[in-house]
């Protein structure tokens, strides 16, 4: 029998302490959750659930660190819209979770609080940048969690930790209160251990928000599983997504699931996404350009840490940013500033924007023929901590299968499909057309119920 929610909240600090070696939680805010419960918390669709949020989402009167020394001592004066919607739906938010600094990374190693560890093996990365949120769900500290997905930062850790991880359509969930990394990519996203709860959390946080100018007005429908509907879906297999860089066990499971779906009577059709190979280059040009602009606000004057170095104003800025930002954030700021500089903007930034449009057209063309795309989520299984941190190019390639969906802005979700011979999670990715989250949930639920290795 499930313990009463108040008892689960009270038990969270001890449970978190028992798993402290995973380093998934930055701030335990269970006392706030308990105070809300005692103060007459609202009843709603999430009333029985514990949740956590990535520490780049603001919650009033709580620290927001973005896992960066730059935001030392910062206490949020307001609450992000998706977080407020969780509270309004009755959720108990008990933790803010570790991440790559300012959500820049693919392993949750770039954190000023140290790396988060995978519950399937403490020497392995959990994926990133939302690794902390993935780990608290995978280790059953909470029922579900919010992360942010810019180029795969929820789907990739979901694959590495054996979870369902949804990146909604761009604009489907308000970004108000999400600390910006790359504003035209960032999307608040969901981790859960099953399709039903992922859908429920998504339905709570999705919907138009007048506080976000990029928020979509598309209505949000409630998910109700319909096996007949699921069976009617046509599934696309993109020929560009199975290549020599794909781990053999992931590739084998990918082909096995395709064979299973065919045996169940699904229509499976090969399609092409011809500009996929340009995705990583375009993504890192565009996101670093946006990051260099967004992170200019952290100057040591308005909030966060301030260098004590003596000198003029320019020296204060330089010293504050040099000591506050970690190496990966500095790398991306410098790269973004470079591609936006005079003489290089047309050569890199504008060309990357054109490539983004071509990738978007690839998806639109594919969805004229199929309802969903089935692809791998990651090219590898979880890798050991420290093996890629000094090789940024190899690290960036961890997102090779998730970045195209982010460039196009279409919804995509990792679904767990078993484990490798060594017991490590394997995930595959479902992608739908714009605002097609409900279609993803239908096939995800069918696979969850019927597929086994």
Q: Residues 385-426: pLDDT tens digits?
A: 999 998 998 999 999 999 999 999 999 999 999 999 999 999
The rounded percent of the chain whose pLDDT value lies above 90 is 87
Domain positions in the chain: 5-205, 228-276+355-450, 281-346
Calpha distance 270→370 (Å, rounded): 9
pLDDT at site 306: 80
Tell me if residue 130 is catalytic. no
Say yes or no to pLDDT of 230 above 80: yes
The answer to whether residues 150 and 287 touch, using CB atoms and an 8 Å cutoff, is yes
What DSSP designation does 252 have? H
Identify the CATH class of 228-276+355-450: alpha beta
Mean pLDDT of the chain: 94
413 phi/psi in degrees, rounded to 5: -145, 135
Span 74-132, pLDDT tens digits: 999 999 999 999 999 999 999 999 999 999 999 999 999 999 999 999 999 999 999 99
For 106, the enclosing helix (H) or strand (E) is: none
Identical fold between 5-205 and 228-276+355-450: yes
For 446, the enclosing helix (H) or strand (E) is: helix 437-450
In this prediction, residue 242 has a pLDDT band, given cuts at 50, 70 and 90, of confident
Q: What's the pTM? A: 0.95
pLDDT at site 41: 62
The answer to whether residues 356 and 366 touch, using CB atoms and an 8 Å cutoff, is no
Tell me if residue 54 is catalytic. yes
Span 345-387, pLDDT tens digits: 999 999 999 999 999 999 999 999 999 999 999 999 999 999 9
Per the residue annotation, which of 106, 107, 133, 153 is the catalytic one?
Answer: 153
Tell me if residue 292 is catalytic. no
pLDDT at site 232: 96
Fold observed for domain 5-205? Amidase signature (AS) enzymes (3.90.1300)
Per the residue annotation, which of 30, 54, 133, 292 is the catalytic one?
Answer: 54
In this prediction, residue 343 has a pLDDT band, given cuts at 50, 70 and 90, of confident
Give the SS3 label for residue 274. Answer: coil
pLDDT at site 309: 66
As a whole number, mean pLDDT of residues 199-217 equals: 98
DSSP letters spanning 118-155? BTTBTTB---SSSHHHHHHHHTTSSSEEEEEESSSTTH
Q: Can you read off the two tokens belonging to residue 400?
A: 């090779």
Say yes or no to pLDDT of 1 above 70: no
Instruction: Report the length, in residues, of the chain.
Output: 453
Span 125-146, pLDDT tens digits: 999 999 999 999 999 999 999 9
């Amino acid at each position: 029998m499930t313990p009463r929610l108040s008892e689960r909240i009270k038990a969270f600090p001890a449970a978190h302490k028992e798993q402290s070696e995973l380093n998934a939680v930055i701030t335990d805010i269970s006392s706030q959750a308990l105070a809300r419960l005692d103060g007459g918390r609202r009843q709603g669709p999430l009333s029985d659930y514990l949740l956590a949020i990535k520490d780049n989402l603001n919650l009033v009167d709580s620290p927001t660190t973005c896992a960066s020394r730059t935001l030392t001592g910062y206490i949020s004066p307001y609450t992000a819209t998706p977080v407020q919607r969780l509270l309004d739906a009755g959720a108990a938010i008990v933790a803010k979770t570790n991440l790559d600094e300012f959500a820049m990374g693919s392993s949750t190693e770039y954190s000023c609080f140290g790396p988060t560890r995978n519950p399937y093996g403490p020497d392995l990365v959990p994926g990133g940048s939302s690794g902390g949120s993935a780990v608290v769900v995978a280790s059953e500290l909470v029922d579900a969690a919010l992360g942010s997905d810019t180029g795969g930062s929820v789907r990739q850790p979901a694959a590495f930790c054996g979870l369902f991880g949804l990146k909604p359509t761009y604009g489907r969930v308000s970004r108000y209160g999400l600390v910006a990394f790359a504003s035209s990519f960032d999307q608040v996203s969901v981790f859960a251990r099953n399709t039903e709860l992922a859908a429920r959390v998504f339905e709570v946080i999705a919907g138009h928000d007048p506080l976000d100018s990029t928020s979509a007005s598309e209505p949000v429908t409630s998910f109700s599983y319909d096996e007949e509907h699921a069976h009617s879906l046509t599934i696309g297999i993109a020929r560009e997504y199975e290549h020599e860089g794909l781990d053999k066990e992931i590739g084998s499971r990918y082909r096995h699931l395709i064979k299973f779906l065919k045996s169940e009577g699904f229509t499976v059709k090969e399609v092409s996404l011809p500009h996929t190979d340009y995705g990583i280059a375009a993504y890192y040009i565009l996101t670093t350009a946006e990051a260099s602009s967004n992170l200019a606000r952290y100057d040591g004057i308005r909030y966060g840490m301030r260098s004590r170095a003596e000198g003029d104003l320019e020296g204060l800025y330089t010293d504050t940013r040099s000591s506050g930002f970690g190496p990966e954030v500095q790398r991306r700021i410098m790269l973004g500033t470079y591609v936006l500089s005079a003489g290089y903007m047309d050569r890199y930034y504008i060309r990357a924007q054109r490539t983004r449009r071509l990738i978007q057209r690839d998806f639109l063309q594919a969805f004229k023929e199929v309802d969903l795309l089935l692809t791998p989520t990651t090219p590898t299984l979880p890798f050991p901590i420290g093996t890629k941190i000094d090789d940024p190019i190899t690290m960036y390639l961890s997102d090779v299968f998730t970045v195209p969906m982010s460039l196009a802005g279409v919804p995509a979700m990792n679904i767990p499909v078993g484990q490798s011979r060594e017991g490590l999670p394997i995930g595959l990715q479902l992608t739908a057309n714009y605002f097609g989250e409900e279609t993803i949930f239908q096939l995800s639920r069918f696979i969850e119920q019927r597929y086994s290795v």
